[in-house]
Amino acid sequence: MMTKKNIVKMINKGDRITYTGKLSSLLDRNLLFKLENANIETINDTTTDELVSNMREGISIYSPPSYNSETSADPGLKESLEEKNILTFEGLNKVFGKNSSISQTRKEELWNYYREKDIEWQGVVSYKGLGRNDWSRVGIRHNVGPNVELRFDEDDKNLIEMVKKEDKITYTGKLAELFGRNLLCSIEDVDIKMIGDKTIAEIEKAVSASAQAESGTDNTTDAEVIKEPEIIMEESMVPEVTKREDIEIIETVDGLIEISFEELDALFGKKNRMTESQKDRLWKEYKDKYIRWTGEVISRGKGRVSGLRMGIKNTEGTDVELVFADDKEDLVLGTDKGDKITYTGKLITRRGYILPYKLEDGNIENVLKAPETTE
């Protein structure tokens, strides 16, 4: 049964509620009176009974994890996990996934109840990072529903290096941010318990034993050292052309391509020696693709004609112009110059000698506020 305490946790500042109660004490002019035996009947015009029903539709905070042939581990692990109370991915997806009948606004309200809940799930690694310098994100697919994204800390870099694409892993963490569409949510405070049917401790032990065996090998053969002649070549003035068959654009299940800003700018930036027509032909392979990058807010505003826009610095100066839909106005204007943001957008126009890259359908996923400066 949902207690009043849990219902109170569902309320956010600014919510509109209907409530009942018994008049208790008359206070002062700033706080008129006190109510006892209070009961909340509706939150934002939705009854609490309906909200509770939505939360319990196929989901329970205390449910044993489900298993499938694709992601199952050994029977001993399954038996031990079934003794625990764990939030299931299938249940969460039924309420918050793209096939749920609940509106996005209501999902966001319900998500406040589940945020920071502990999970222990199994899935398959679908991608690692979204670029050479973005290693901390790992996408996981399950047998139903969209991906989730694991977000690791700097200290976990060695752990991520142990995992390969298509590995089946068992992982724990806390529910963080709700997305929707093809990416359900992000998971933080992540720990990988198993890769395949091996625990992390077993894998580390095997790697250590292998390294010791290699270091102990007696190699008595003196290798003949052949010194290559030093060849000094002048840099060619002929533009180095990237051909279509040399391009491998990897697209993740959430519709993004795996390329960092630095990698894209190496192809289309000022330092690349391809001609403008060569860059134009190559740009066709990237145009209308979605990316996720991190940069610094340089400017933002809304014009009557130009619309809602933001200038972003990824390396130097304003090198990205990000265009947003009008419904993102509060999100965009809520940022300040110097804030670090993680954003997504659709590549529209490549950069010129002066003009930046232009991206449309912009969205801000995370904001790290700039430190306040003291006068």
Residue 234 lies in a domain: no
What residues pair up with 173 in beta bridges, in sequence order? 119
- Residues 252, 183: one domain? no
- Residues 85, 169: one domain? yes
Residue 208 lies in a domain: no
- CA dist list (Å): 186 to 19, 66, 152: 34, 20, 10
Task: Tell me how far apart the alpha carbons of residues 142 and 126 are, in angstroms, rounded to a whole number.
Answer: 10
* pLDDT in the model for residue 170: 94
What DSSP string runs through 219-261?
----PPP-PPPP---PPP-S--PPPGGG----B-TTSBB---H
Task: Tell me how far apart the alpha carbons of residues 311 and 358 are, in angstroms, rounded to a whole number.
Answer: 10
* pLDDT in the model for residue 203: 87
Q: How many CA atoms lie within 13 A of 55 on its CB side?
A: 21
Which CATH number characterizes residue 298's domain? 2.40.50.140
Q: Give the contacts of 65 (CB within 8 A, at least 6 positions apart).
A: 81, 82, 84, 86, 88, 120, 121, 122
- Residues 291, 180: one domain? no
Tally of domains within the chain: 3
* pLDDT in the model for residue 294: 94
Residues of the chain with pLDDT under 50: 58-85, 218-242, 244-245
Residue 367: CB atoms within 10 A of its CB come to 16
- Residues 21, 64: one domain? no
Domain hosting residue 90, numbered range: 57-198
- Residues 171, 273: one domain? no
* pLDDT in the model for residue 181: 64
* pLDDT in the model for residue 233: 41
The runs of H, that is alpha helices, within 57-103 are 75-82, 89-96
Residue 221 lies in a domain: no
- Residues 193, 279: one domain? no
* pLDDT in the model for residue 146: 64
Task: Tell me how far apart the alpha carbons of residues 325 and 344 are, in angstroms, rounded to a whole number.
Answer: 13
- Residues 89, 194: one domain? yes
Owner of token pair 């270091």:
215
- Residues 69, 172: one domain? yes
- Residues 264, 331: one domain? yes
Residue 90 lies in a domain: yes
- Residues 20, 73: one domain? no
- Residues 362, 257: one domain? yes
Residue 20 lies in a domain: yes
User: DSSP secondary-structure letter at 69?
Assistant: T
* pLDDT in the model for residue 255: 79
Residue 213 lies in a domain: no
- Residues 184, 69: one domain? yes
